[in-house]
Amino acid sequence: MIRLSNKKILLCITGGIAAYKTPELTRIFKKNGADVRIIMTESSKEFVAPLSLQAVSGNQIHYSLIDEEAELGMGHIELAKWADVILIAPCTAESISRLSQGRANDLMSAVILASDADLFIAPAMNVKMWGDKVTQKNVKTLKIKNVNFIGPDSGDQACGDVGEGRMSEPQDIAFAIAKSFSSSYLNGMRILITAGPTKEAIDPVRYLTNNSSGKMGYALAESAFLAGAQVDLVSGPVSINAYEGVNLHKINSADEMLEKIKTLINGIDIFIGCAAVADFKPTNYIDSKIKKTDENNMSINLTKNPDILKYASENMKDKIVIGFSAETDNIIENARLKLSKKDLDMIICNDVSDSSIGFDSDNNEVHIITKDYEKKLHKKSKIRIAKEILKNIEPLIN
């Protein structure tokens, strides 16, 4: 099964006959939920029409490093940060050679150099070119840099030769990309994640809440599931869907969240508190709509909500408990305080004063803080941040 929902794929097309397969490849990515952006090299335009690719991807095609209009839309650095994965298909011997040298003299190579997204190459060339010692040395250099190769396949070639060098079929390429989002290092682990806001009712029509969209917590749940874990996700009201396979438990208020956590906590190996739990709730719920009066002011008494993360850390002594910290000032110092006060193994802090990250954004930028180290994860999609957070949790697992 190919599952690519919400994945951001940057497809780079270089000049080979197999480029004619890229509209089909793009169609498969799109059909399975991915967002696709495309870079075409100059020579690739001889093999496939940019307009077809624009139509099938639904996005403007990117060509040149020096293109004012494109830079104004999505500049090359932004494109590098946007991608969850970069795929070069077809990739010629010339492109493999240039990438192995770390060149950055066209849009494709510059974006790749500026990106830390996983890079996949689907080579396509003549059998002799693929077998050539220099090409193989370049492939080795790229593999050492963790570049992933899909194919090439063996068979009849467009030039009449037979052998290894054909680009893999679009379906197989899409499958390999989808598979790259899953792994098995959390096999057998049970993970409990909280996400989204809580909604604290004042009366039947009014409530206190915040701007959490659930995207960060849902991305963590998806990544943990794809890494092999059994995942329970306790979520406040949000408008996004949980990844198929994740056990979703919907709640409204902090009290309901705590009650749900109590029923799920036994046997949990890792708890991640990503929810933006309201710190306070109205002291008294008024069960009919509060009427407007002639008074200019009114006040509502608030009472502290239960601290769900603290409950988890107190009840999971020999397990891993991770919190998030949403701050606008002194973000590191405040996160450190929470780390020790709530006796956590790790805290992930984000600066919620920056509207391009944190609440309701597709991207985040966070600091991972433990008692022993601190690490910054630069701005990227929440799905990539989630993957990296989980990779940093792995060493904490005995």
Instruction: Tell me whether residue 159 is one of the annotated catalytic residues.
Output: yes
- Least distance to ligand PMT from the beta carbon of 224, Å? 15
Give the whole-angstrom CA distance, residue 340 versus residue 223: 27
Q: Up-side HSE of residue 206: CA atoms within 13 Å toward CB?
A: 14
Q: Does 98 bind ligand PMT (CB under 6 A)?
A: no
Q: Does 234 bind ligand PMT (CB under 6 A)?
A: no
Beta strands in the chain (DSSP E): 8-13, 35-40, 85-91, 118-123, 148-149, 153-156, 162-166, 190-195, 200-203, 206-208, 230-235, 247-250, 270-273, 280-282, 302-304, 320-327, 346-351, 363-369, 374-381
- Least distance to ligand PMT from the beta carbon of 372, Å? 20
Q: Does 365 bind ligand PMT (CB under 6 A)?
A: no
Q: Binding residue for ligand PMT (CB under 6 A) from 325, 351, 390, 393?
A: 325
Give the whole-angstrom CA distance, residue 234 versus residue 205: 23
Pick out residues in 145-174 that bind ligand PMT (CB under 6 A).
none
Q: Binding residue for ligand PMT (CB under 6 A) from 249, 360, 379, 392?
A: 360
Q: What distance lies between CA 317 and its chain's CA centroid?
A: 30
Of residues 151 and 214, the one with the C-beta less far from ligand PMT: 214
How many binding residues for ligand PMT (CB under 6 A)? 29
Q: Binding residue for ligand PMT (CB under 6 A) from 122, 150, 193, 277?
A: 277
Pick out residues in 329-348 that bind ligand PMT (CB under 6 A).
338
- Give residue for tokens 């988890």: 312
Stretch in the footprint of ligand PMT (CB under 6 A) among 82-90, 96-104, 206-214, 286-294: 206-214
Q: Which residues belong to the active site?
A: 159
Report the interface residues with ligand PMT, using CB under 6 A.
Answer: 194, 196, 212-217, 254, 273-277, 279, 305, 307-309, 323-326, 338, 350, 352, 358-360
